Amino acid sequence: MPATRPADRRARAQALPPAAPQDLRAITAFLDRAWAESGLSPLTLHSYRRDLEGLARWLGTRGRDLASADRQQLYDYLADRTAAGYAARSNARLLSALRAFYVQQVRIGVREADPTALLDPPKLGRSLPKALSESQVEALILASPVDTPSGMRDRAMVELMYATGLRVSELVNLPATALNLRQGVVRVMGKGSKERLVPLGDEAQHWLETYLAQARPALAGGRAAAPLFLGRGGAALSRQQFWNVVKRLAVLAGIDPARVSPHGLRHSFATHLLNHGADLRALQMLLGHSSLSTTQIYTLVAREGLKRLHQAHHPRA
């Protein structure tokens, strides 16, 4: 069966009836407990709510709710999504949300057994992070025109992201108070409300100082604004707005926009540091990874780069 387009899948999901009130109450209670107990990020909580409400709406068409769903129904739902063209990674994330929900339901005594216990996650191929070359990053950074307040902001944002490897959500949510330009560091609140200090580097620090002095006041329009990077009316930029900035700069730099993304700048930061001899443990701290195994994937990226270099230049490759 051919995969459907994302727009078709969205239309299909929107055609389902709303989730039952008791399911919405159960989801909200679950998210409140998860936030209080584990300090989950707003983005994770939003993803959990979307995934659980999607299941609740699907169950509603079959006369069931979250409290009464069994393993077979959850299996059928995953199979239905697969047939509709959802990727394995999307279904794996969904299953993670369902497990968190039902484990909590068992723990608080709402259910006796966890219906996700014997559900196997879909097999995921291990995809390597896609990093730009150092010359491509340089071209991307220099592509931003700095003769307008928004252009100066874009230059400062790209400089900061490449200098620090921030996640895009961390970047757009940075408050102005997170910067310490005297010490040359930025204080970042990462996943799980874990805080880390990341050095800025001279170039990023220079453009941040320039942005703060010359562009940010104009973007704030005389209003007090907490976010570091401002859009129209002094509001914080969204993830999607910064995504559009990076795509536009890619076109100006002569780079295929399909190869460039905000997360790709984070990958480029990590890959280039490792290529220049950075310690893996230090890289883990800079990226804010809770596990070293997450950081180790960048060693595979470096290894693949060496293989390509050998094949391109060795006379007997």
**Torsion angle defined by CA atoms of residues 140, 141, 147 and 148, in that order, rounded to the nearest 10 degrees:** 80
Catalytic residue flag (residue 263): yes
| DSSP letter for each residue of 45-61 | HHHHHHHHHHHHHHHHT
Catalytic residue flag (residue 48): no
Q: How far apart are CA 14 and CA 54, in angstroms?
A: 9
First to last CA, the chain: 41
Catalytic residue flag (residue 191): yes
Strand-pair partners of 185:
180, 199
Q: How far apart are CA 131 and CA 274, in angstroms?
A: 12
Strand-pair partners of 187:
197
Catalytic residue of the set 81, 153, 216, 266: 266
Catalytic residue flag (residue 75): no
Judging by DSSP bridges, how do beta strands 185-189 and 179-180 pair with one another? antiparallel
3-class SS letters over 223-243? CCCCECCECHHHCECCHHHHH
Catalytic residue of the set 81, 153, 155, 167: 167
List the structure tokens of 92: 């794996």
CA distances from 169 to 175, 191, 255 (A): 12, 10, 24
CA angle, residues 279, 281, 283, in degrees to nearest 5: 70
- Residue 49, class by beta-carbon neighbours within 10 Å (0-12 exposed, 13-18 middle, 19+ buried)? middle
Q: What is the CA radius of gyration of the chain?
A: 23
List the structure tokens of 32: 């409140």
Name the residues annotated as catalytic.
Answer: 167, 191, 263, 266, 289, 298
